[in-house]
Structure 1
């Protein structure tokens, strides 16, 4: 099967959090590319559609939008 992604993905396991308004949701970055990521979260259905992803280990804060949602996973693209 051909891969239709804009950039290659790299598997990682990095602790992170979703920041929106004054709230935070802890998550784990499962894979990462230049254009987006896959996040593991406890309750994906209640995560906001747009937020800032913070990866403290890398010193990153990236604006994101959810493009795919399952029970415990979010597929996001970077704005």
Structure 2
């Protein structure tokens, strides 16, 4: 399978938070790049296709959207900041 990512992702194991509509769900960040990430979500709750990913240990808060879903994992792409 040919790699289609714009930026290489690096394997990580970091605590993150999916934030939307005043709610926050914990997640585990499994890999991370400048353009996106793969997250593991252990909550059975629904959440929207667009949200903010926060990773406190990185000082990161980025709006993003879901690119793919597979069981408890999702792939996200970070939204570009408006210019």
Which runs of 5 or more residues in structure 2 are unaligned? none
CA distance in 2, matches of 1:26, 1:3: 28
Which runs of 5 or more residues in structure 1 are unaligned? none
CA distance in 1, matches of 2:6, 2:45: 26
Partner SS, residue 8 of structure 1? coil
Divergent runs of 4+, >4 A: none
| 8 A Cα contact 2:25 2:43, kept in partner | no
- Counting matched residue pairs gives 79
| 8 A Cα contact 1:44 1:74, kept in partner | no
User: Partner of 2:59 in structure 1?
Assistant: 59
> Aligned-residue CA RMSD in angstroms?
1.4
TM-score (norm 1): 0.92
TM-score (norm 2): 0.88
- Could you say if the C-alpha distance between residues 33 and 44 of structure 1 is closer, same or farther in structure 2, counting changes exceeding 3 Å? farther
Partner SS, residue 64 of structure 2? strand
2:27 equivalent to 1:27: yes
Offset of residue 42 of structure 1: 1.1
